[in-house]
Every structure is written in structure tokens, then in C-alpha cells.
Amino acid sequence: MIPEVNELFVLTKCNFFATNQVWPRKTRMNPDGCALGSRVDYVTSARLLEELTAAMGEKTLTRKVRYYASFDLPIIDEFGFDRLERREYPESASLLYKVVDARSGRGSTACVTNVDFSDWSEYLGDPPLVIAMLDRIVDSAIVIRFEGKSYRQHRTERKQVAAKQSSTQS
């Protein structure tokens, strides 16, 4: 996301969720900030859950949730890309809910996921909590579902076509 787009989400306090099983282009979630100098943080879902789980064990979870709630725009990338998240962090649904709830109505959150909203209950394993979390997420959210070939598949096909053209010209 370019800084001006980041700023749009900050100013409108609108959530942004991009979802699909394959990505037609490389995601460009930009942690470098916004045009107006807002505080933006980029974190992978795995790192977020690791940090929240560690904070829970250290009895500093409230402080860590406040930390993520303090950004104008936290960007959570790769949610659901690794099913180990849920196995490694059995409290993942509750931990994610705490961050989403702390931000709800106060600021924007951006997330890139390959898990459709309809599959979050199965992925996180706590249907009532997921319903509450999704209720907060989709409230004033822009949700984009990408379709098409994956970025890497498309790039590989282009290279193959170029190589084939090069070999026929020789």
C-alpha cells in the first residue's frame, strides 16, 4: 500500500481486508508510513501471535495489546498462511480478538489473509469468538477478494514465454 492509501485508512478509520487463496500480484503492504506522518506498523500474523503469547506468559498482555492498539494503522500480513499458527498458539483466537477489540471504532486495521471469512471459525477453532471478532472487523471495512493466478505462477509463465520466444528467434 502506498503512503497515501495508508493515510486514507487512517483518516477514515476504515478497516482494510484483502483475501484470496492465491494472489494475482505481490502484496505491497507498506510499513513505511503515511503521507501525513501517521504511525504505521507491519507485522506478520505469526509474529503478532508469538509476541502476544509471550506477553501472556510474562503477564504483560495488556501492555502488548495497548502497543498494537496505539498505531494509527497496524498492517497484519499472512494471516492464515501457516496453519501452525493455531497449533503453536492455541490461544490465537482470543489473542487476535483482544487486538481487534482494542482497535474497534478507534482506528483502522489492515490485514492480508488467504482464509475466507466463512472459514475463520474452522481456522481459529472458536466460533462464538470469531463471530464477535468478524463483527468488529467488517464494521466500516473495505474487503477486497482477489481472483486469478498467483503472482509467482504468472511471473513464471511470463519467463517461460520469454525464454521460448528467445529460443525461436535464435
CATH for the 3-169 domain, from 3.30.360.10, 2.160.10.10, 1.10.10.10, 3.40.50.300: 3.40.50.300
Q: What is the per-residue pLDDT for 9? A: 65
Work out whether the CA dihedral 134, 137, 143, 148 comes out positive or negative. negative
The C-alpha atoms of residue 114 and residue 66 are separated, in whole angstroms, by 27
Q: Does position 150 have pLDDT exceeding 70, yes or no? A: no
Mean pLDDT score across all residues of the chain: 78
Please state the domain extents for the chain: 3-169
CA 92 to each of CA 60, 73, 87, 96: distance values in angstroms, whole numbers, following the listed order: 16, 21, 9, 6
Q: Is the pLDDT confidence value at 34 over 90?
A: no
Rounding to the nearest 10 degrees, give the CA dihedral for residues 74, 55, 66, 127: 70
pLDDT of res. 33: 47
